Chains A and B, each alone.
Chain A
Amino acid sequence: MLEIIRCSKTFQKGTANEVRPLRDVSLTVEEGAFVVVIGTNGSGKSTLLNAVAGAFPLDEGRIRLGGREITKWPEHRRAALIGRVFQNPFSGTAPGMTIAENLAMAVRRGRFPGLGWALDRRTLEAFRERVSTLHMGLEDRLDTEIGGLSGGQRQALTLLMATWQRPDLLLLDEHTAALDPRSADRIIHMTREIVTREKLTTLMVTHSMTQAANLGDRLIMMHKGEIIRDFSGVEKQRQRAANLLAHFDEVRRRELLDQGAADLLKEMYV
């Protein structure tokens, strides 16, 4: 179970560029839940994920995972519990190293790397077997540098690496946004399969309303650093891409209205 308790974050505090991507956000994700997060640009959805991953210290609030207080843990320590796939296919793998070497590090996620051999025949055999489940023909190319692979192949490997050891929490940060539609479909298919099979607690940010409508069992909509909608159960299943867009329009209209009202008040009183 993931508990985000009253978290706030301000970047570049006190400057003209000050942004507050998290405003007193609270969220509890039950064990095994698959939560999809959508939101406008700059709504704080990626920041929320990064806060959970430990990419920066929070200004306020606490984060608990599996009953453990991880607020003060550095990023690499949290990685023992959390698997991550990034938006940029280049972020999740080391391009100058081979597929096998990348996998070798994923196998030991969260443990101190000792002086044992990174690769031996038995691990290579295990890699080949598991990589073949991707159906990309990569099992015969374990010795290839990852830098030569396509974005889709890299994301597939990153997803495999993030879940090689079952994580307590899987964080997917717009992990198909940089892919062509075909590859994106494949990765989404893989994601659904792995998350369902392993019953992973998952937090996924997406920009695609179709993905948001079709995936997961709970849907959260963020705007200006706050959670403004939270659909779960039957209500989540009823959501379609079109009415999710309608929700966004509604938010935008209300904002315009607010702006209009403020202008009106200004004219009247200032």
Chain B
Amino acid sequence: MNLLVGSLTIGLILSLLAIGVYISFRIFNFADITTDGSITLGAAVAAVLLVAGWNPVAATLAGACAGFLAGLVTGILHARFKIHALLAGILVMTALYSVNLRIMGKSNVSLMSTPNLTNLAEDLGAPFFGRGTFLDLAGWSLASRDASMLLGAFVVILLVAGGVYLFFRTNLGTVMRATGDNAQMVKALGSDTGLMIILGLGISNGLIALSGAILAQYLGFADVQMGIGMVVWGLASVIIGESLVRSKRLGIAICGAVMGSILFRLLVAIALRFGLNPNDLKLVTALFVFVALVLPHWFSRLAERKGGRARA
């Protein structure tokens, strides 16, 4: 039970990462590797500020803002200096590794003894689940703290995902979506597509850093290595989400990304439980994304061939 609730919570927290990757990868068609750096950046900034005694909400938001700035840098490298999308992301990601070490001063900052968002989540859940007790769910015992975490994560994701959805329904959000869909048209209607990409990557990485900031507080530490492979993780979530909802409509697609993130985390938890070596996790994730990207084409080609034979 604790395993299930724990992976649900992490899945929810990482769904912010999934929404961020959805924005860059699906809305802007931009494979943005800044992700690996910005998720750590969010964690690092939030952790250092928490240790310095900042209010947890302020520290978390500061982490998100740092990610926003990192996204702007990638966007500017790409849109203004005409650097290839992948390379722009790689440059910023690499630079962020040093930046993150500088911010933290060491490779790992512990948050175990610092008041942070998890305390707020416990306050939020206290009226429902009590404090420091165990709940009895049809015979399974669940720590009230874990239940509160899940509730807290759920509330945050609901608010942020709702906010993202509403933003993309505004004029600015509409033009951003059109930028990925048909840049020529956006220019012909008078908007600067470069600016849209810059802002869009800012928002994407802001969400990713927010995810990192919250994750660090949930796990109880920020680590300079924690971002490695996260872009692939986000892609896997987005792809799973798409196959779950099978719709490109904005609201549904965002829900899909959240669901994909939760499901993927559950799958990973189950695989680890059944003996998958944690060291193999990134390899398996990468293979999974590869298969998910290739399989649909393969199937449609197979179907075409079959259809062709039937007609002949």
User: Are A116 and B181 in touch, CB under 8 angstroms?
Assistant: no
The answer to whether the Cβ of B171 comes within 8 Å of any Cβ in the partner chain is yes
Interface residues of B, dominant DSSP: helix
The answer to whether the Cβ of B310 comes within 8 Å of any Cβ in the partner chain is no
Chain A residues with Cβ below 8 Å from B174 are 97, 101, 104-105, 113, 118
Among candidates B171, B182, B185, B187, residue contacting A108 with C-beta atoms closer than 8 Å: B171
The answer to whether the Cβ of A117 comes within 8 Å of any Cβ in the partner chain is yes
User: Are A94 and B169 in touch, CB under 8 angstroms?
Assistant: no
Chain A residues with Cβ below 8 Å from B172 are 113-115
Give how many B residues have a beta carbon under 8 Å from the other chain's beta carbons.
23
A99-117 vs B: 1/0 string, CB under 8 Å? Answer: 0011011101111111111
Chain A residues with Cβ below 8 Å from B181 are 94-97
Interface residues of B in 166-219 (CB under 8 A from A): 167, 169-175, 177-178, 181-182, 184-193
Chain B residues with Cβ below 8 Å from A91 are 182, 184-185
Interface residues of B (CB under 8 A from A): 167, 169-175, 177-178, 181-182, 184-193, 248
State which size class the interface on A falls in: 35 or more
Check A104/B182 contact, CB under 8 A, given A79-B188, A92-B188, A113-B191.
Answer: no
User: Are A94 and B182 in touch, CB under 8 angstroms?
Assistant: yes
Chain A residues with Cβ below 8 Å from B248 are 96
User: Are B190 and A110 in touch, CB under 8 angstroms?
Assistant: yes
User: Are B192 and A116 in touch, CB under 8 angstroms?
Assistant: no
Among candidates A74, A75, A93, residue contacting B182 with C-beta atoms closer than 8 Å: A93
Per CB-CB distance, the 6 closest pairs between chain A and chain B, nearest first, are: A79-B190, A110-B190, A113-B171, A94-B181, A118-B174, A94-B178
The chain B residue with its CB closest to the CB of A93 is: B185
User: Are A119 and B169 in touch, CB under 8 angstroms?
Assistant: yes
User: Are A74 and B192 in touch, CB under 8 angstroms?
Assistant: yes
The answer to whether the Cβ of A80 comes within 8 Å of any Cβ in the partner chain is yes
Give bound CA distance, A268 to B173, whole Å.
69
Give bound CA distance, A102 to B186, whole Å.
10
Give bound CA distance, A113 to B178, whole Å.
12
Chain B residues with Cβ below 8 Å from A76 are 186-187, 190-193
User: Are B189 and A105 in touch, CB under 8 angstroms?
Assistant: yes
User: Are B184 and A86 in touch, CB under 8 angstroms?
Assistant: yes
The answer to whether the Cβ of A161 comes within 8 Å of any Cβ in the partner chain is yes
The answer to whether the Cβ of A77 comes within 8 Å of any Cβ in the partner chain is yes
Chain B residues with Cβ below 8 Å from A218 are none
Chain A residues with Cβ below 8 Å from B173 are 118
The chain B residue with its CB closest to the CB of A53 is: B188
Chain B residues with Cβ below 8 Å from A119 are 169
Interface residues of A in 1-59 (CB under 8 A from B): 53
Chain A residues with Cβ below 8 Å from B171 are 104-105, 108, 113-118
User: Are B190 and A95 in touch, CB under 8 angstroms?
Assistant: no
How many A-B residue pairs lie within 8 Å, measured between CB atoms? Answer: 93
Looking at the assembled complex, report how far the CB atom of B176 sits from the nearest CB atom of chain A, in whole angstroms: 8
Among candidates A53, A106, A115, residue contacting B189 with C-beta atoms closer than 8 Å: A106
Looking at the assembled complex, report how far the CB atom of B192 sits from the nearest CB atom of chain A, in whole angstroms: 5
Q: List 20 A-B contacts (CB under 8 A).
A: A75-B188, A79-B190, A86-B188, A91-B182, A93-B182, A94-B178, A96-B181, A97-B174, A97-B177, A97-B181, A101-B174, A104-B174, A105-B189, A108-B189, A108-B190, A111-B190, A116-B170, A116-B171, A117-B169, A117-B171
Interface residues of A (CB under 8 A from B): 53, 74-77, 79-80, 84, 86, 90-97, 101-102, 104-106, 108-119, 161-162
Q: A76-B191, A96-B181, A113-B172 are known contacts; what are 5 more A-B pairs with Cβ within 8 Å?
A: A74-B192, A76-B187, A94-B177, A105-B175, A114-B172
Chain A residues with Cβ below 8 Å from B190 are 76-77, 79-80, 108-111
The chain B residue with its CB closest to the CB of A54 is: B187
Chain B residues with Cβ below 8 Å from A96 are 177, 181, 248
The chain B residue with its CB closest to the CB of A79 is: B190
Chain A residues with Cβ below 8 Å from B185 are 91-94, 105
Looking at the assembled complex, report how far the CB atom of A79 sits from the nearest CB atom of chain B, in whole angstroms: 4
Looking at the assembled complex, report how far the CB atom of A217 sits from the nearest CB atom of chain B, in whole angstroms: 25
Check A118/B192 contact, CB under 8 A, given A94-B181, A105-B175.
Answer: no
Looking at the assembled complex, report how far the CB atom of B193 sits from the nearest CB atom of chain A, in whole angstroms: 7
The chain A residue with its CB closest to the CB of B170 is: A115
Give bound CA distance, A10 to B191, whole Å.
27
The chain A residue with its CB closest to the CB of B191 is: A76
Looking at the assembled complex, report how far the CB atom of A10 sits from the nearest CB atom of chain B, in whole angstroms: 21
Give bound CA distance, A223 to B35, whole Å.
51
Chain A residues with Cβ below 8 Å from B193 are 76
Give bound CA distance, A106 to B173, whole Å.
14
Among candidates B175, B177, B187, residue contacting A75 with C-beta atoms closer than 8 Å: B187
Chain B residues with Cβ below 8 Å from A53 are 188
User: Are A113 and B175 in touch, CB under 8 angstroms?
Assistant: yes
Chain B residues with Cβ below 8 Å from A77 are 190
Give bound CA distance, A157 to B249, whole Å.
21
